[in-house]
A and B are shown apart, each in its own frame.
Chain A
Amino acid sequence: MNGRDDFDPQLLELRRGTIVLACLHLLRHAGYGYGLLEDLARHGFAADANTLYPLLRRLEKQGYLTSEWNTEETRPRKFYLTSASGLRLADTLTTEWAALTGAIASLTHGRTE
């Protein structure tokens, strides 16, 4: 009855927010839009280009990322770097994620006992 497609809304709901955390971690080393998209995919985060690009600008506006244009290469690219407050946000989110992992583990653990 319940194919994988039926679960998609729940999966999306659960993944929402993880892209922000992943970006904050990945951009501790400067990165640009498409390169970041590939990095995310490589680490197992399925992000769409049309959500990632606006997200980067939003995080920059909120002060969690800084940006700089690099015109040295053939194609000028906008490079983003996680700011100090971005790093603090990443720490908080990571702690929360770890707590959630523990909480979920305690649920499934309790059931198998």
Chain B
Amino acid sequence: MTATLTDRYISATVRTLPQDAQADVRAELSASIADDIEARLDQGEVRQDAERAVLTALGDPDVLAASYADRPLQLIGPRYYLTWWRLLKLLWAIVPVTAVVGVLIAQLIADAPIAETIGTLVSVAIGTIVHVGFWTTLVFIILERTGADTGERWTLDALPDPQETGAGRGDLIASLAFLGLAAGALLWDRSIGFVLVAENGVDIGVGLGSQTTAMPVLNAELWPWWLGGMLILIAFEAALAIAVYARHGWNTGFAWLNTALAIVFSTVILHLLITSQLFNPEFVDYTLDRGDVPPEVGRILAILLGAGVVGVSAWNAIDGWLKSRRSVAH
């Protein structure tokens, strides 16, 4: 004899219930369904139609089973959703960028082919985004089903800080001081030199200046055009800082200007670095060409320096946009 629709419905329902509840639910549900069908038969329905109507009204057996077993019918419910989303956003903001930058530096140091480097970077970026998303979500799906407590309670302390507009007097002073130092350092290096070189050992009984010669770090040939350009960039940055202060905040125009300055600055530095024009050849010989330094060190240092310059410039540009967006929101 083939199983009736009712038998199949009940089996589909109790299948996923805990073992100890299965027999009880099976017996109770079959009695309830039989009662319901009987009531419909009393009203003159045909048995087949009555059975179909009763089972259809009960709906998807998996939903019914979830209701019996008190199982959630969502991956992550309201209890964990915000914790999950906040954590995921934080991890997505940190992990892929860190991984990509790390791999980029490693590939550059290994001097891997450009195509291979690009391919690796794309797959690392996609891979970390997917992995971070998957594993974080999996942890929260398990939390949702075990009912564990994440220990996160909202308190007033969690209110976002009033965000810095980046347009205060402190910001202006810090920017101008930093830019002034940078300009001063360039000029000092140009006119006197940063590195003190002693021909022989240093005698502490004599003044430092009389037994050493100062050596500029940057290439003397950068003067006047490149260095002058740098000083103009610094002047632009200073003007931008003053304008931001005067206008009481960032706006889209400032952010564009800031981004352009950052791009120009990092492009110039990278160009000089790649064409080996940035540093004073004497200084490079003195530090790296001493026989005991492996030849790769200079290249690796150049890559790290280049990555550092691009990273700082990129952050500077992004920071400008964030601040302009915030001051629009205010």
Contacts and interface: CB of A to CB of B under 8 A. Distances in A.
Nearest to B34: A75
B284 interface: no
A33 B57 contact: no
A60 to B, nearest CB: 10
Contact of A33 (B28, B63, B64): B28
Contacts of A35: 35
Contact of A34 (B35, B57, B59): B35
What DSSP secondary structure best describes chain A's contact surface?
helix
Given A77-B28, A78-B27, 9 more contacts: A32-B35, A33-B28, A33-B32, A37-B36, A51-B67, A53-B68, A54-B64, A57-B25, A76-B27
Contact of B31 (A49, A54, A57, A76): A76
29 contacts: A33-B28, A33-B35, A34-B32, A34-B35, A34-B36, A34-B39, A35-B35, A48-B57, A49-B32, A49-B36, A49-B57, A49-B58, A50-B58, A53-B64, A53-B68, A54-B67, A57-B21, A57-B25, A57-B68, A58-B70, A75-B31, A75-B34, A76-B27, A76-B31, A77-B28, A77-B31, A78-B24, A78-B27, A78-B31
Interface of B: 21, 24-25, 27-29, 31-32, 34-36, 39, 57-59, 63-64, 67-68, 70
- Interface SS majority for chain B: helix
A94 to B, nearest CB: 26
Nearest to A69: B27
A51 B29 CA distance: 13
Contacts of B32: 32-34, 49, 53
Contacts of B57: 48-50
Contacts of B29: 53
Which 6 pairs from chain A and chain B are nearest by CB? A34-B35, A54-B67, A33-B32, A78-B28, A54-B68, A34-B32
Contacts of A38: 39
Interface residues on A, range: 10 to 19
Nearest to B27: A76
A23 B40 CA distance: 23
Most chain A CB neighbours (cut-off 10 Å) among B35, B39, B57, B64: B35
Contacts of B39: 34, 38
Interface in A41-55: 48-51, 53-54
